[in-house]
Amino acid sequence: MKMLKTLLIGLFLTTLAHATVRTAADFSCQDVNGKQYHLYDLLDAGKVVVLDFTNGG
């Protein structure tokens, strides 16, 4: 029962998060080999994009 409750809470939070998603601005970045990537090109190709913003300092 506890597992089901946890699963339902997780499903609710996931649904809530998707309801508040806004459109990201298209941007590009370069990998270490110099290849250019554009966010919208990756999304149009069906790729999953995870953006992780961290403070390295």
Q: Which residues have CB under 8 Å from 39's CB, separation 6+?
A: 24, 26, 27, 28, 49
The dihedral of CA 42, 26, 23, 57: what is its sign?
positive
Q: Which residue has the higher pLDDT, 57 or 4?
A: 4
Query: What is the model's pLDDT at position 35?
Result: 92
| Domain residue limits, the chain | 27-51
Q: Is pTM beyond 0.85 here?
A: no
Count Cα neighbours of 2 within 13 Å in the Cβ-side half-sphere.
0
Q: What pLDDT was estimated at residue 3?
A: 75
Which pLDDT does position 13 carry in this prediction? 66
pLDDT, one tens digit per residue, over 11-53 is 666 665 555 556 778 889 888 899 999 989 998 999 988 877 7
